[in-house]
Amino acid sequence: MSELPFQLPDSAYQWANLVESTLGAALDEPTSDTANRRETWEEPDDPIWSILVASELIDSANSIRAVIAKDAKKRAFVERFLGSLIRNFRQAMAIDPGQDDLEHLKRLVLLQYVAQLYASYQSQGLSRCEGTLLQVLFSSGHTTAIQIGVDMLLVRPPVDWEDVSVALSPLMQSTDWKLEDVFPKLLNCTDPSVLAPALDVANHAFRKRKLTEHPAKPESSRLLALMGGLVQQLGVLEENPTKFGNSVDAIQKILFDSISLCVSLCHTFGLIGNTDAIGKLNQASQLSHRRIRTEAAFALAKLGDKKGEQQLLELAADISSRQRAIVYAEELGIEDRIDERWTTAAALAESQLANWLAQNEQMGVVPARMELLDQRTLGWPGFERPQECFLFRYEYDLQDSIYSNVGFAGPMCHTFSQDLADISLDDIYAIFVGNDIDHPDAYELPPNTVDARIVERTQRVIDSLPSDVEMMEPLLCGCFFEHFGVLGRVRIHGELRIAVVSEDERITCEPFATKNQADPMLTYWLWRGRTFFETVSM
């Protein structure tokens, strides 16, 4: 463990040894045990003590890298372990050191260790940690730390593009940093996964700080040439993606990087006001990718091109472009020229759900077709006033079939893998609201919990069942404010069902036509949702 330029109490070293032993045990034990091991430890009295663990992780980096390179489950454990440690880093940086020079020194040393930790574990498959480690540097607001973060992005950028956005996110959330610490240096990066978020930060800073000159303006000529190459590359990708390789992952990375950078450049040129970009923006507006077309049309309109305005108005008809096109039209003052069909609450909700479904972690593409099933104004958790809620049937054309399901839009967007089409609209809304409730007084416990009060309530519920109903297998106990229910496999009139049995002796059965094939939690969400709607309607 490296020597520190200040003293920490003996209890700090005792805590650090316990934390390090947790990691050491996980790396030494069989993989099957590591897969189930949690990275939990007692929180330190002072989060600055995390410096000691960071120092040991840096000193042991070679041996740890060797282990996680061979074992994915141990890599996952180290990722979780680092995630918990990074939370301590954030806590330490969030404490105001006041005028205490020693406390300032401690935070500067911590930032140095964070930078070394990133350098030691970058490109080791710990993707969720790369961005959050750099985020600590950028969130500090300290000139030296931010400059180190910029250098890291230029020399050793994260493997995953999402980590770059995570790293730079503090610069979007605060103005408590110096522009000269970031620009123009970060804009000199040639990596698209870094340059695109860097331009987004520059665009945000230009708007938020009301700068007289855009940070990217001195680089206009170089960026314009870059955009010309990107538009040409995207045109070739649309016609024949195999020219860029045979690997789907490699092609998708090139495609995503090119699209992201092109979108950022379009927005940048619109803000800079450089009319030299009109030609390249017109070329971009002819590409098939809707987001690029929307950004190019907006930039053209900002530069006074009437064709851009017309394209933007037409894009409001497209479900994936609608929300953004309307926002941009409002900024330009031409929203009254949009067809009224595309500005209704239902049309906006349709676009909201379509874009949510198109996210990579959902379906990845916009649905082929969408149809409004129902629209209601309902009380919703977390909102004082009733909210407009919508149910849509959406469809995807697969190779040999059509995939369809029901999605929800309104206070949030959601869908389930189970098709909800064969149940009532009331129950569909109940399932969605039951799933969306997040409150300390709404929680679940296993039926074998050590909580004696829950065990007693569970037994009372089971004992109160009528003679023709038998609880075969309790799955979980649900506490919903003053309400209590037991989800389980229940035999009713000789038929095995999934149901929630509540303290008021009501039985909420699975609502699906095909029994025992749906996720049991859907029945639990149904119980919670029905209970919620009954409560808010009283």
pLDDT digits (tens, 9 = 90+) for 275-294: 999 999 999 999 988 999 99
CA distance 500 to 486: 5
Is residue 108 exposed (0-12), middle (13-18) or buried (19+ Cβ within 10 Å)? middle
Whether 177 is covered by a domain: the verdict is no
Query: Does residue 430 belong to any structural domain of this protein?
Result: no
State the Cα–Cα distance between residues 381 and 379, nearest whole angstrom: 7
Q: Is 153 within the bounds of a domain? A: yes
Residue 538: pLDDT band with limits 50, 70, 90: low
- Which band of pLDDT confidence, cut at 50, 70 and 90, is reported for residue 181? very high
Lowest mean pLDDT among 289-293, 407-411, 426-430: 289-293
Cβ atoms 388, 443 nearer than 8 A? no
Helix, strand or coil, per DSSP, at residue 263:
helix
Structure token pair of residue 175: 């103005």
Question: DSSP letter string over 28-85?
Answer: HS-HHHHHH-----PPPSSGGGHHHHHHHHHHTHHHHHHHHHH-HHHHHHHHHHHHHH
In-domain check, residue 371: yes
Sheet with 442-445, strands from edge to edge, namely 442-445, 469-480, 483-492, 495-502, 507-509
The encoded tokens of residue 455 equal: 């065990």
Whether the per-residue pLDDT at 513 is higher than 70: the answer is: no
Lowest average pLDDT, out of 234-243, 291-300, 329-338, 370-379, goes to 234-243
Select from 15, 32, 125 the least CA-distant residue to 75.
125
Q: Which residues contact 110 (CB under 8 A, 6 or more apart)?
A: 48, 50, 51, 54, 89, 92, 93
Count up the domains in the chain and report the number: 4
Say whether both 339 and 406 belong to one domain: no
3-state class (DSSP) for residue 317: coil
Residue 508 pLDDT > 70: yes
Closest CA to 216 of 199, 229, 204: 199
Alpha-carbon span 433 to 115, nearest angstrom? 43
Residues 302 and 375 in one domain: no
Q: Which residues pair with 274 in a beta bridge?
A: none
Residue numbers of the domain that contains 210: 183-343
In a domain, 311, yes or no: yes
pLDDT band at 514 (very low <50, low <70, confident <90, very high): low
Picking from 479, 478, 349, the residue whose alpha carbon sits closest to that of residue 414 is 349
What average pLDDT does this structure show over 126-146?
A: 91
**Token pair for 324:** 């953004």
Q: Is 424 within the bounds of a domain? A: no
Where is pLDDT greater, at 514 or 133?
A: 133
How far, in Å, CA of 119 to CA of 108, rounded? Answer: 17
Same domain, 334 and 349: no
> Is-contact 487 523, C-beta < 8 A?
yes
Q: Which helix (H) or strand (E) holds 451?
A: none
Instruction: Please give the backbone phi and psi of residue 89, each rounded to the nearest 5 degrees, phi first.
Output: -60, -45
- Distance of alpha carbon 279 from the chain centroid: 35
Tell me the two tokens of residue 450: 């050590």
Q: For position 350, what pLDDT does the model report?
A: 97
CB 328 within 8 A of CB 345: no
What is the spatial distance between Cα 185 and Cα 389, in angstroms, rounded to a whole number? 46
- % residues pLDDT > 70 (the chain): 97
Residues 35 and 160 in one domain: yes
Q: Is residue 516 very low, low, confident or very high in pLDDT (cuts 50, 70, 90)?
A: low
Q: Is there a contact between 365 and 320 (Cβ–Cβ < 8 Å)?
A: no
pLDDT band at 10 (very low <50, low <70, confident <90, very high): very high
Rounded mean pLDDT, 24-53: 84
Query: Are residues 254 and 334 both part of a single domain?
Result: yes
178 found inside a domain: no
pLDDT at 517: 62
> DSSP state, 482?
T
One domain for residues 363 and 323: no
Question: Is 206 in the same domain as 237?
Answer: yes
Which of 415, 432, 453 lies at the terminal end of a domain, its last residue? 415
Residue with tokens 């690997």: 247
Residue 461: its pLDDT value, please? 84
pLDDT tops 90 at residue 386: yes
Q: What is the mean pLDDT of residues 481-498?
A: 89
- Tell me if 434 is assigned to some domain: no
CA 21 to chain centre: 32
Give the pLDDT confidence score for residue 511 in this predicted structure: 84
Q: Tell me, what's the pLDDT at 355? A: 94
Last residue of a domain, one of 138, 172, 206: 172
Q: Do 304 and 408 share a structural domain?
A: no
Q: Are 54 and 109 in contact (CB under 8 A)?
A: no
For residue 93 the two structure tokens come to: 């940086």
| 158 in the same domain as 43 | yes
User: Rounded CA gap, 475 and 446, in Å?
Assistant: 7
pLDDT score, position 19? 93
Task: Report angle CA 298, 304, 309 to the nearest 5 degrees.
Answer: 45
Domain boundary residue among 172, 197, 217? 172
Does residue 312 sit in the same domain as residue 409? no
Mean confidence (pLDDT) of the chain: 90
Are 197 and 300 in a shared domain? yes
Q: What 8-state DSSP symbol labels residue 514?
A: S
Residue 226 has pLDDT above 90, yes or no: yes
**Are 497 and 531 in a shared domain?**
yes
